A and B are shown apart, each in its own frame.
Chain A
């Protein structure tokens, strides 16, 4: 993962609350088996509308999304984060985020900063008054600056450290593999295992088509 310290890019005011992950990327776009190539799917339903913010020339190249409260609710699909990243977004600012979305973002290097709704309103006004205006996001200082306005944002200390160092979570966990093995040795024998597979003998049917 790339290290993140500061980023400067065009701010995009998205005046909507409860932007759920079905809006960020509709389910029909979830069928790819790769991690990239989701940029066209971002906000797919809204992008059909000419007046949608990302269809306006000044905001097209945006990389800092300033959204309403409860951004990223709904489905756990990480594709929502991939779509935002593939489009070019590096940061999302909102007053509240859904937990899973915020977790997914942290794993993928998309910064989610919690900014008070009062300051979100100020940012919206600036970005709407001067379309194409840039925002500088400093993860080091936990601030977002737009013109003469600088607002603080909150982000989890550990996530911030990991993003700034560009560290991979799995690698970090595997440094403690001995602890995992020791924990596994303490588990009760009755705890369920999926293998060997057991099934209910009532109503058995054959597989409808051969599994290759």
Chain B
């Protein structure tokens, strides 16, 4: 019997096989750090008198609570400033490379790794952040870890782990125009549930996945954790190699050829068997939005707010009642009618250059709904610089959006970018948990296309809904 991609990567990183029920010891190729989940880990090293074993496989960026305005001034929030200053001091003391606020390579860790060419196929990648699954898009085993594990990797460059189970997610068919990678992953999570992936590594396969760009693949793998999975991955192919080639840390010359030869072996064998398989037809996918307070509570945009009385499962019914109350909704209300106060375009899910381009194309020549605020936060400083080179910033600013500096921003509201109580957002981020974007804030997860169209109409909308607006104001192409 053949092996799956996940099993191959496991075998390629096995330092020591666990005996008598002990976990395997797995080597870690790349460890990324940020200011929130690392201070206690560095403190642990200091107390134990341990060095960072491999500073040359470690990189740090400031992202979770950095401001997106006035980045040349000291961070106003004292506790945020302490955390960022602590990361800087730790990086200096332990010899770890750091990209600080204002540096061209600063940004969300999951945007920075791929953009520097540090993320490649066939690696194990970890970070004290659950969205590390993003890097699985390159055909790597990438997953989030807790602070104790951060300390463990800093000290040993390994992790004791029990093998994951494997799940194939087959997405065939042609994705309709107006639907995106975000809609695929929201539909998958709605199908298998927020606990459906627990204990599994997901491998996304099929024609619809093959056709996606690297950035779209990252969007899909990014949200694997929202289905409960530690990791999600896509086997590398020409699209992957093309994306990596020429990046600052990509291999060159003979090294490149050797790397590609290895990367081509990183596929699931035809006769391999997954523990579970799930099938989805991309052709059926409309733009998807969430109505509730977990990412599994999603529906096509054309649907209405569900009626909990019609939900058979008692736990799900209660969760729906709570979510509908928190979100201020009424069962039966069309999702398209929901007025949106804030549109957030950004995050490690949808803050890359393709996301900004796609949204800019929708809003160009159109007018923003008067009551809706739009915040555009590039995923990294380099994405911002590239967007400015392409003139995207001007399109957003002319439209009436706020053009900001890079970071996690309103995805989790650790910096000043937060929703007010009962404020409703359409957000391209990854979590619609209660209070995630600000205490009492109400989040609907959407794709960049839906975010852009929503900013035009002021209610949850897809680009296809813009035709009537254009007739009214005589704008648009």
Q: Which residues of A are at the interface with B, using a C-beta cutoff of 8 A?
A: 15-18, 20, 22-23, 26-28, 30-35, 45, 68-70, 73-79, 81, 96-100, 103-104, 107-108, 156-158, 161, 169-170, 172-174, 176-177, 179-180, 183-184, 188-195, 197-200, 203-209, 211-212
Given the complex, which residues of A lie within 8 Å of B80, measured CB to CB?
Answer: 31
Which residues of B sit under 8 angstroms from A79, Cβ to Cβ? 147
Partner of A193, one of B56, B100, B198, B431: B56
How many angstroms from the CA of A206 to the CA of B83 in the assembled complex?
22
Judged by DSSP, the binding face of A is loop
| A residues in contact with B152, CB < 8 Å | 169-170, 173
- Would you call A22 and B435 a contact (CB within 8 A)? yes
B472 within 8 A of A: no
**What are 29 A-B pairs with beta-carbon distances under 8 A?**
A18-B294, A23-B433, A28-B413, A30-B414, A31-B36, A31-B79, A33-B40, A68-B315, A69-B315, A73-B228, A76-B129, A76-B130, A76-B144, A76-B146, A99-B199, A99-B230, A100-B144, A100-B225, A104-B146, A173-B160, A180-B157, A190-B259, A191-B29, A192-B120, A195-B55, A200-B105, A205-B102, A209-B72, A209-B102
Q: How far is the CB of B323 from chain A (nearest CB, A)?
A: 10
Residues of A contacting B123 with CB < 8 Å? 191-192
Does B82 interact with chain A (Cβ within 8 Å)?
A: yes
Taken together as a complex, chains A and B put the C-alpha atoms of A173 and B251 apart, in Å, by: 31
Whether the Cβ atoms of B195 and A69 lie closer than 8 Å is: yes
Q: What are the 6 tightest A-B residue pairs by CB atom distance, in nearest-first order?
A: A208-B102, A107-B148, A104-B146, A31-B79, A190-B255, A33-B39
What 1/0 mask marks residues of chain B from 190 to 206 whose CB sits below 8 Å from any chain A CB?
00001100110000000
- Give the Cβ gap from A167 to chain B, nearest Cβ, in Å: 11
Determine how close the nearest CB of chain A comes to the CB of B312; give it in whole angstroms.
15
Q: Tell me the complex Cα distance, A35–B130, Å.
A: 19
Q: Which residue of A lies closest to B41 (CB)?
A: A78
Contacts of B322 in A (CB 8 A): 16
How far, in angstroms, from A30 to B40 measured CA to CA in the complex?
Answer: 11
Q: Quick check: which of B232-240, B332-340, B381-389 contacts chain A, the rest being far away?
A: B381-389
Return B259 CB to nearest CB of chain A, in Å. 5
Contact B259 A70 (CB under 8 A): no
Contact A172 B160 (CB under 8 A): yes
Binding site for A on B (CB under 8 A): 15-16, 18, 21-23, 25, 27, 29-30, 36-37, 39-40, 43, 48, 50, 53, 55-59, 64-65, 71-74, 77, 79-80, 82-83, 85-86, 88, 97-98, 100-105, 115-118, 120, 123, 128-130, 144-149, 151-152, 155-158, 160, 162, 194-195, 198-199, 225, 228, 230, 247-251, 255-256, 258-259, 262, 294, 315-316, 318-319, 322, 381-382, 385-386, 389, 412-414, 431, 433-436, 439
- Cβ distance A43 to chain B, nearest Cβ, rounded Å: 11
Which residues on B sit within 8 Å (CB–CB) of A191? Answer: 29, 120, 123
In the complex the two chains form, is A212's CB within 8 Å of B88's CB?
yes
In the complex, which residues of chain B have a beta carbon less than 8 angstroms from the beta carbon of A176? Answer: 15-16, 25
User: From residue B339, how far is it (CB to closest CB) to chain A in Å?
Assistant: 24
**A22-B435, A33-B82 known; 8 other A-B pairs, CB under 8 Å?**
A17-B316, A74-B433, A78-B40, A78-B147, A169-B160, A192-B29, A193-B56, A195-B55
Q: Which residue of B is nearest A156, CB measured? A: B162
Which residues of chain A come closer than 8 Å to B57, judged between CB atoms? 193-194
Contact B21 A158 (CB under 8 A): yes
Residues of B within 8 A of A184 (CB): 27, 157
Shortest distance between the CB of B348 and any CB in chain A (Å)? 12
A146 CB → nearest B CB, Å: 21
State which of B102, B195, B389 has its C-beta within 8 Å of the C-beta of A207.
Answer: B102
**A188–B260 CA distance with the chains assembled, in angstroms:** 12
Cα separation A74 to B16 with both chains bound (whole Å): 30
Which B residues are in CB contact (< 8 Å) with A96?
Answer: 195, 198
- In the complex formed, the residue of A with least CB distance to B315 is A17
